[in-house]
A and B are shown apart, each in its own frame.
Chain A
């Protein structure tokens, strides 16, 4: 195959470039190039399209309650963006825990979603926020929930000729709590992470969203497992119940792998901690 390198500076030329079959898209490259390095020369991509210079895909804007983030926004950009810091600071906080400064300067939100690592830092948050992604191809576009976009370990709904251009979500009424467990603070991939949003009136729970990541091939949405809580008072028994339910759900999906010895108790504790913190946050006006 003829080798091809195309750098696109606008979305139209990008959509034209990727309409040809066999073209590999590169964004920040922080995941892709690690994979390419492992390939035999004959298996390395022969035709590549660079998305990293498309300015249209680097915007962040807020319209009413809807936040729209371009797919080529880097973690550094997300961390430092005034709109994000003001309206949805948990995104900035989670972004600041991704990799290292070098990776945050290069890695993009769209690249990470398309790479679909089970340990992706931001994925549980997108699911909790019921975020949608816009997938565009020449003359067409479609919108999918992140939850439906992610299919499994490095598997997504992205079709040939399509590129993710936007991620969008509504700003929730309550603050979202995000936590990550890694081997160390810097440059660590999440061994477990999760996020929680809880809305309550006095001691009565009105809404809970809870998602944990890195324990299953795609983030595990535990919102339904928490539904018994709605319109009921907060009790420690129910907290324990949800925590052990989370553990059982992970076991059903991922089985008891070698990491289960530490991961199962860690999941229970992570869920407890997320719920407790979200409970405190949910009481704030």
Chain B
């Protein structure tokens, strides 16, 4: 099978990987690079579990062709903590009990990271909009909204 070389920046580190033409960014992150923090949910851009940042913008990695990330910057949940030290947004999620089963958490954290970078002090409505593409079936969303609010006030 023909493969193509994808060079891109993954969590600020240069990365190169041989991939098939029609692989999605999610396929490459999980199956080729074994970065399994990014979750595969619906696979059709509806649940947001696979959210990563592409050049700082939240995208569903299941509907980005991996080769479109050529030379671009991709950030995943693995890039948030510094070694063993969680980012303060991750810490807020823990303090506000914003994690239950955890499956939506990576995507929520990335949507929230994208938001706070563009808008460090969002209103509650802006927070709700920013995570409106991320489904959570456990928390009822309020703890997640509170965690993001808490982070925006730190």
Contact = CB atoms under 8 A, between A and B. Distances in A.
Interface stretch (A96-104, A154-162, A165-173, A252-260): A96-104
A105 B110 CA distance: 14
B21 A102 contact: no
A2 B45 contact: no
A7 B5 CA distance: 13
A76 interface: yes
Interface centre among A33, A46, A48 (most CB of B within 10 A): A33
Given A3-B21, A76-B57, A187-B132, A102 B67 contact: no
B59 A33 contact: no
A105 B58 contact: yes
A102 B59 contact: yes
Contacts of A5: 4, 21, 67
B68 A52 contact: yes
B90 interface: no
B65 interface: yes
Contact of B59 (A3, A46, A106, A187): A106
A236 interface: no
A105 to B, nearest CB: 4
Interface centre among B54, B68, B134 (most CB of A within 10 A): B68
Contacts of A251: none
Interface string B30-52: 00000000000001111010010
Nearest to A103: B45
A144 interface: no
A186 interface: yes
B116 interface: no
Nearest to B56: A105
A185 interface: yes
B2 interface: yes
Contacts of B111: 101-102
A44 interface: yes
Given A50-B68, A101-B132, A33 B63 contact: yes
Contacts of A30: 45, 60, 63
A151 B62 CA distance: 29
- Identify whether the interface residues of B are mostly helix, strand, loop, or mixed: mixed
Contacts of A48: 21-22, 65, 67
B70 interface: yes
A34 B26 CA distance: 13
Nearest to A96: B129
B80 interface: no
A5 B68 CA distance: 10
A103 B65 contact: no
A100 B2 contact: no
B68 A102 contact: no
A29 interface: yes
Nearest to A7: B70
Contact of B45 (A34, A45, A46): A34
B68 A187 contact: no
Nearest to A45: B22
Interface string A35-56: 0110000001110101010000
Given A101-B132, A102-B51, A103-B133, A37 B44 contact: yes
A26 interface: yes
Given A52-B68, A186-B132, A100 B48 contact: yes
A253 to B, nearest CB: 28
Interface in A72-116: 76, 99-103, 105-106
Nearest to A38: B44
B76 interface: no
Contacts of A2: 2
Contact of A106 (B2, B24, B46, B63): B63
Contacts of B57: 76, 105
B63 A3 contact: no
Nearest to B4: A5
B132 A50 contact: no
Given A5-B4, A33-B63, 8 more contacts: A3-B4, A7-B67, A36-B22, A37-B43, A99-B133, A101-B111, A102-B48, A186-B133
